[in-house]
Structure 1
Amino acid sequence: MTKVVAITGASNGMGFAAAELFAAKGWTVYGGARRVAKIPTGERIHALKLDVTDNSSNRAFIETILAREGRIDVLINNAGYGEYGPVEDISLDKARTQFETNFFGTADLTQLVLPTMRAQKSGRIINISSIGGDIYVPLGAYYHATKAALQQWSDSLDIEIAPFGVRSIIVQPGGTRSSWGEIAMQNARKNLKVGSVYTPLVNQVAALLNADASAIGASSEDLAKVFYAAATDERPKRRYFHAFGDRAVVWLARSYPRVFKKSFMAVMKFLSRRAEKK
């Protein structure tokens, strides 16, 4: 029996690569995104319009898959973005939209798919968080809050649904070779008030997020393989990371928060001094 996976945020980055990988592995793939034309095409890939902040769109997405396939084996909640900006400057409307996309969209889709998975007595909900669910950088307060919320929610959900043969799993990517950081900093600059005192901080964080990203970050294809492992491992883990460094920095932030903060502040001072010399 061919397995069915539903992937949100399938129009770019990790979601795009995951759609291609699952299809190559023989799965029937349903990719959802607002920009349908950017979802990959292929014999096993079906592109559907999806806005995760809209309940009617989420309902149509799930109901279409079930009408065609009769089952969903894996839901990958990948859609998300970074609404960066200083807490003092960023509007609460934008903060709410950040939660609607990164957290409540996931919760809505999960509620819609769980009755089917329980009836099947099998299924996996794979929630794409970030190492940013445990660590933090300035300007990302609302982004980090959504990822921390997602992780606690996923862990609670996992206990609730495990007796029915269904699992809820977190994937925590670290730095990626993608446009994510650039877009997040574009948002940060848009969210600055005129004459904001946080303008220098935005420049420092931009330097931090973009420093050697092309050399040290994982590719979308690398992370798609992590998604696939989370979907297919016989005994799934509670957390999935791409690299040891990602796991290590999460451990440091959780086990020694003061050391993490001091280390981060030292990096920020170094970047500030380097910028002044240019």
Structure 2
Amino acid sequence: MTKTAIITGISSGMGHAAALYFKENGFEVYGGARRMNMMQDLAEAGIHVQELDLTDKISIRQLVDRTVKEAGQVDVLINNAGYGEFGPIEEVPTEKARRQFEVNLFGANEITQLVLPVMRRQGFGRIVNISSIGGDLYMPLGGWYHATKAGLDMWSDVLDMEVKQFGIRSVVVQPGGTDTEWGSIAMETAKKNLEENSPYTKLVDKISGSLDSASNSRMAGASAEDLAKLFYRAATDIKPKRRYFNSVGDHAAVIFSRTMPNAYRALVSRFI
């Protein structure tokens, strides 16, 4: 029997690559994103695409209902959609911080709550939550982003303990450095969130410069295709792990931040 996966945030990056990879490996794939024009190639590849806004309950329900009606089951849910609202905590408007949680955490919860009854009836299912090593590591200006990813990690762990009895598992993928424009986009967002004559302007410029230097001096991080394969492993491992990392370096960084928090803070402080 063909397996079915729902993947959110498939218009670009690792979500886009994951949709194609799951399809290539025999899954019937349903997914969505806000930008329909970015998913034309996915539709041509046989992926069932539709507009999806994780802050809109109706939009979320339409995707789940369509999947169940047409495929009859949901084997895998990949909660991939998310973004980073960077800027000084003092100056990022609360409504923007709230939207960050709505998309990165509450949206994942909303679609998961709709999928779980289906998985319970089936007696199996896998929920893969795409977090970040930024759920454990942190840097100035990323307060709201880090808070959502840390929250997603804990939420997934609790969910896993609750649903394991039904043959369902909830796991976390924590990507680290990626071969994308994510860092530059985050810094552009931080600059947009600065108030006029902000006392944090120098901090934003310094961190932006540090990220540019690091990007130019190191080898490229994981590609979208690398992470798509990691998503697939997290979704199909017979004995799933709580956490999935793309590299030993990513895993080591998380262990370092957890076990040596003062040393980690001192290291980050050297760059600000």
Q: Is the 8 A contact 1:27 1:44 kept in 2?
A: no
Q: Is the 8 A contact 1:73 1:123 kept in 2?
A: yes
Q: Distance in 1 between matches of 2:135 and 2:211?
A: 16
Q: Is the 8 A contact 1:81 1:180 kept in 2?
A: no
Q: Which amino acid aligns with 1:20?
A: L
The answer to whether the aligner puts 1:49 opposite 2:51 as a matched pair is: yes
RMSD: 1.2
Q: Which amino acid aligns with 1:78?
A: N
**After alignment, is 99-108 or 43-52 more displaced?**
43-52
The answer to whether the aligner puts 1:193 opposite 2:211 as a matched pair is: no
* Cα distance, 1:11 vs structure 2: 0.2
Report the 3-state secondary structure (helix = DSSP H, G, I; strand = E; otherwise coil) of the residue aligned with 1:47: strand
Report the 3-state secondary structure (helix = DSSP H, G, I; strand = E; otherwise coil) of the residue aligned with 1:167: strand
Q: Deviations over 1:59-117 (max 9, x none)?
A: 11100111111111100000000000001111000000000010000000000000000
Q: Distance in 2 between matches of 1:158 and 1:100?
A: 21
The answer to whether the aligner puts 1:244 opposite 2:241 as a matched pair is: no
* Cα distance, 1:42 vs structure 2: 3.6
**Number of residue-to-residue matches in the alignment:** 268
For 1:171, which of 170, 173, 179 is the aligned residue? 173
Q: Is the 8 A contact 1:65 1:72 kept in 2?
A: yes
Taking structure 1 as reference, are residues 123 and 208 closer, same or farther at Cα in structure 2, changes over 3 Å only? Answer: farther
Partner of 1:99: 101
Q: Distance in 1 between matches of 2:43 and 2:58?
A: 25
Q: Is the 8 A contact 2:31 2:63 kept in 1?
A: no
Q: Which amino acid aligns with 2:165?
A: P
Partner of 2:215: 212
Q: Distance in 1 between matches of 2:109 and 2:168?
A: 15
Alignment of 1:111-260 (within 5 A): 111-210=113-212, 211-212=214-215, 215-260=219-264
Q: Distance in 2 between matches of 1:136 and 1:58?
A: 30
Q: Distance in 2 between matches of 1:61 and 1:14?
A: 20
Report the 3-state secondary structure (helix = DSSP H, G, I; strand = E; otherwise coil) of the residue aligned with 2:219: helix
Alignment of 1:59-70 (within 5 A): 59-70=61-72
Q: Deviations over 1:213-264 (max 9, x none)?
A: 6723111111111000001111011000000110001000000000101111
Q: Is the 8 A contact 1:32 1:48 kept in 2?
A: yes
Report the 3-state secondary structure (helix = DSSP H, G, I; strand = E; otherwise coil) of the residue aligned with 1:93: helix
Q: Distance in 1 between matches of 2:244 and 2:134?
A: 14
Q: Distance in 2 between matches of 1:128 and 1:208?
A: 26
Q: Distance in 1 between matches of 2:43 and 2:184?
A: 26
Report the 3-state secondary structure (helix = DSSP H, G, I; strand = E; otherwise coil) of the residue aligned with 2:55: coil
Q: Distance in 2 between matches of 1:82 and 1:208?
A: 18
Gaps of 5+ in 2: none
* Cα distance, 1:50 vs structure 2: 0.4
Report the 3-state secondary structure (helix = DSSP H, G, I; strand = E; otherwise coil) of the residue aligned with 1:169: strand
TM-score, normalised by the number of residues in structure 2: 0.96
* Cα distance, 1:43 vs structure 2: 4.0
Q: Deviations over 1:149-207 (max 9, x none)?
A: 00000000000000000000000000111122222111111100001011111112223
Gaps of 5+ in 1: 270-278
TM-score, normalised by the number of residues in structure 1: 0.94
* Cα distance, 1:26 vs structure 2: 1.1
Report the 3-state secondary structure (helix = DSSP H, G, I; strand = E; otherwise coil) of the residue aligned with 1:127: strand
Q: Which amino acid aligns with 2:25?
A: K
Q: Distance in 1 between matches of 2:129 and 2:58?
A: 21
Q: Distance in 2 between matches of 1:108 and 1:120?
A: 20
Partner of 1:25: 25
